Amino acid sequence: MPRFKLTVEYQGTRYSGWQVQKNARTVQGEILAALRKVTGKMEPELHGSGRTDTGVHALRQAAHLDLHEDAQPEALRRALNTELPSDIHILAIERTHPRFHARHHAVARSYLYQVSRRRTAFGKKLTWWVKEDLDVERMKQAAALFAGMKNCRSFSADEPEEKSTLVLIERVQVREAGDLILIRVEGSHFLWKMVRRIVGVLVEAGKGKLSNAGITRFLEGKSEEPARLAAPASGLFLERVYYQGDARQDDLEPVLMISSRKM
């Protein structure tokens, strides 16, 4: 049975996340529906590298697909994109090893978050507009506290009794791009709502309302405060899924550039 690796981008605004759910529109569900039309098979096998939540976007989600019959990757990609809605696009399809697994073989993932410092007519669905002034240097100092193997129980909505909350966070970057503040969080894996809670804490630090000592306490114990501060889904993108041998992405660029304009 041939196996293919898919690279998918999508705007998650209209979807209840990646994974198929009953009575909900999902990205995986839309791709499966397109596969049924294109291949004529009722139950194609499609597995993503991981879930994204309601409203979260992806620049390069990875998935693997099993087909009962062989197909030309580029022809399949074009056919699927013809059937898919405009906010889901297959960037690439390639043949892969029969044992390749999009989730189990991933060695790291990176997420990008876009904070807007002004109201924008174009980027509302792709950013979080924060009205208060933000000190980017404070945010960078706070971001450095997250690097390393951390117990992220204060930053997860998962049950710690059911799932380990230890996560290797490889880097958290913060930089300005026009009127956007870009935040990248890269690590071995991520817990439910973890990135949105980290971003919310960094924004609170940028407002001057949360000290580095306070953030350290979140990382050393259990606190409900990060849940209260969690950033909305609108500004979050699954940026990249890394596999053995992949070069890490160093440049940190916005998805939608918002120029600096005083309104």
Specify the 3-state DSSP secondary structure of 172. strand
Is residue 15 within 8 A of residue 25, CB to CB? The reply is yes
Give residue 256's pLDDT: 75
pTM: 0.93
Give residue 44's pLDDT: 83
Give residue 40's pLDDT: 86
Give residue 9's pLDDT: 98
14 and 81, same domain (yes or no): yes
Give residue 102's pLDDT: 97
In a domain, 248, yes or no: no
Q: What is the pLDDT of residues 41-76, one digit of tens each?
A: 777 889 999 999 999 999 999 999 999 888 999 999
Among 39, 67, 95, the domain-final residue is 95
Q: Residue 71 sits in a domain of what CATH number?
A: 3.30.70.580
130 and 185, same domain (yes or no): yes
Among 42, 66, 95, the domain-final residue is 95
Residue 127: closest CA among 68, 182, 60, 198: 182
In a domain, 58, yes or no: yes
In a domain, 257, yes or no: no
Q: Residue 220 sits in a domain of what CATH number?
A: 3.30.70.660
| Amino acid, single-letter form, for residue 146 | F
- Judge whether 53 counts as a catalytic residue: yes
| Amino acid, single-letter form, for residue 156 | S
Range(s) of the domain holding residue 175: 107-243
Per-residue CA distances from 20 to 24, 152, 190 (Å): 8, 27, 20
Give residue 134's pLDDT: 97
Helix spans in the chain (H):
27-39, 73-83, 136-144, 194-206, 212-220, 225-229
Q: Which of 53, 133, 135, 246 is catalytic?
A: 53
Q: Tally the domains of the chain.
A: 2
Dist CA 126 CA 223 (whole Å): 28
Give residue 163's pLDDT: 77
In a domain, 228, yes or no: yes
Mean residue pLDDT across the chain: 93
In a domain, 258, yes or no: no
The DSSP output letter for 14 is G
Residues of the chain with pLDDT under 70: 160-162, 257-263
